[in-house]
Amino acid sequence: MESEGNGEKKMSSKPKKGSNIIPLTGAAALLTLAVSLAITAINNRRNSKKKDLRGCNFRVNLSASEILKLADRIIAKSKEVHDAVASVPLDKVTYKNVISPLAELEAQQFPLAQSCVVPKLVSTSDKVRKASAEAEKKIDAHSSSCSKREDVYLVVKAFAAKGEWMGPEARHYVHCLIRDFERNGLNLTATKREEVQRLRAQIDELSFQYVQNLNDDSTYLLFRENELAGVPTEFLKTLEEVENGTFKVTSKSHHVAAVLELCKIGKTRRLVAMAYGKRCANVNLSIMEDLVQVRHKFARLLGYSHYADYALNLRMAKTSSKVLEFLEDLSSSLSNLANKELAVLKELKKQEEGELPFGVEDLLYYVKKVEQQDFDVDFGALKQYFPVNLVLSGIFKIFQDLFGLRFEEIVDADVWHSDVQVFSVFDLSSGELLGYFYLDMYTREGKYGQTCMVSLQNGSVEFSGTRQIPVALLISQLQKDICGISSLLRFSEVVSLFHEFGHVVQHLCNRASFARLSGLRVDPDFVEIPAQVLENWCYESFSLKLISGFHQVIHLDKICMCPEYI
C-alpha cells in the first residue's frame, strides 16, 4: 500500500436498505432528491446484471490463505521479470526489453498487492487482517530487495546512457528508476552499499512495526455521562456502554476529535489528549529512538548531513536549512497575532474553568468557543443542517459539475461489507469510463480508524496502448444512522470528506502513462494541493446550499419516483 495515509449529473447517495427517510431542505431540495433517487433506481436496474468491474484487477474478499498465496505469486512474478531484465546484455538494451517490462509489471502488480494489503484496513475478520499484515510485510521486503538489485540498475542505467529517444514522461520515469536505485546506495562502493542496504532493511522493519502498533492500538478510557458534558446525545449513543454506567472512549480519531472539540470538562479533555498522544508509547518510543539513529547513519552513508536532508532532496525545498528559514520567517510574522489570539483563549478558559493552565487539550474546544461568540454560531445546532446523505449527495453534484463527470452506482458489486458502495465514473461528454471508487464510510470494529483515500489501482498505459483505469477507496469513520434518524456531521467532518473526495477525483482524472507517476504518486510537494484547494468549496455559499439543509424525517412513499422528472 502506498503510504508516503473516483458521474449521473444528479446523484444522491443511496438510502440505507430498509430505511424510509431522507434529509430535506425544502421544496426545491425535495424535488432534487426525488430526481436523484429516481436516477439511482434506474441506474440500479440498468446495472443489475453487472458483477465484475471491467478493467479492475483489485480483488475483494480473499480468504487469509488466498491472500498469502497471492502474495507469493506476486513475488514470484516480480522476480521472473526482474531476472529477465537483468539478463539483457548491456549493448542490447532497448525501451521494449528493459523499461516497458518494469513499467507494466508495476502497473499490473500494484492492484494485486493492494488486494493483499487493504484487508488489514477494512476486513471484519481478525484472521484475514493478520494475514494481510503478514502479506504486506513479505511484499514490502521483496520490493525493497528489488530496489537493491545491482544487475537491474546497471541495465537501466545502460539504457539511459544509450540516449534512445523518449517522450518527457518516459524520460522522467527512467530518471525515477535510477534515482530510487541510487537512493539505496547502488552507486557506492561495495562495502558502503552493503551497509546502506543493511540499514535500509532495519528502517523498513522498524517503520513497519511502528505503524502496525498504531493500527492495532485498542486504547480506551471510561467516563461517566457527567464527565462527557457538552458532547451531543447522539454521539453518546454511539459509544459502547460498559459496567457501572460508564462509556468507552477509544483513541480513534473520530472519538478523540469529538471530545476535544465539544466536551466541557477540562479534565476529560486532558485525559483523552494525553491518552491519544501516548498511544503505544511503551513499545513505539524505543522503536522511534532506534529509527532516528538508524536513519541518521543511513543518510550519512549516502552523503547527506542528516536524514532530513535525505528526505527533502526529493522536495522543492531540497535542504532542511531552507525549511527552517521558512518556518522562522513565518513564526516571526505571526507571533504577535498568535499571542493575541492565545490570550483570548486563555481568558475564555479562565472565565469557564477558573485559574487552570491552558494546555494543548484546550485548543480545539476554546477555538470553537471563540467562533461561536464572534460569529453567533451554535455548532450543536449547525450539525442539524448536515445529514450525511445530503452532504454526500451535494459533494457528488459539485464534483460532477466541476469536472464534467458522471457517477453511477454499481449495486451488486462484490464488496467486503454491506455498508460499502461502489461507483463507476464516466466522462460526461464522451461517456468514457474513467475508473471506479469504493466508499466505506461507517465505523465498525477492526476497521482502520482514520479518514483517508487509498489507491487500489493506478492508471497507466501499456506498451500496446491499452489503458488501465484507476480505482480508489475512500475510508471514513462516520456514525451509522441511529433509530432511523440520518447521521449528522460536524462541519469539520464535512470538510474532511471534501478533502478526501478531492484525492479521489485527483486519482481518477489522472492521465499519466506510468503507474509510478499516477494517482497519489505525484511529486510529494504537490500530492495534497488538489484536495486542499477543493476543500475550500465547503465555504462557498452555493456549495453550502447543495450540501446542507435542515434535517427532517419524511416517508419515501410521498416522493414521486417517476422517470419523467429526469
The residues assigned a catalytic role are 500
Integer angstrom CA distances of residue 293 from 132, 200, 236, 286:
29, 12, 44, 11
- Length, in residues, of the chain: 566
Q: For 164-200, b where at least 16 C-beta lie within 10 A, e where not — what string?
A: eeeeeebeebbeebbeebebbbbebeeeebebbbebb
Sign of the C-alpha dihedral computed for residues 480, 481, 486 and 492 taken in this order: negative
Place of cell 552513508: 301
Euclidean distance between CA atoms 231 and 245, whole angstroms: 16
- Containing H/E element for 277? helix 266-277
Euclidean distance between CA atoms 433 and 467, whole angstroms: 11
What are the residues facing 220 on neighbouring strands? 250
The HSE-up count of residue 222 (CA atoms within 13 Å, CB side) is 6
Determine the distance from the C-alpha atom of residue 564 to the mean position of all C-alpha atoms in its chain, rounded to a whole number: 39
Q: Which three cell numbers stand for residue 504?
A: 479521489
Q: For 26-49, b where at least 16 C-beta lie within 10 A, e where not — what string?
A: eeebbebbbbbbbbbeebeeebee
Q: Which three cell numbers stand for residue 67?
A: 491472500
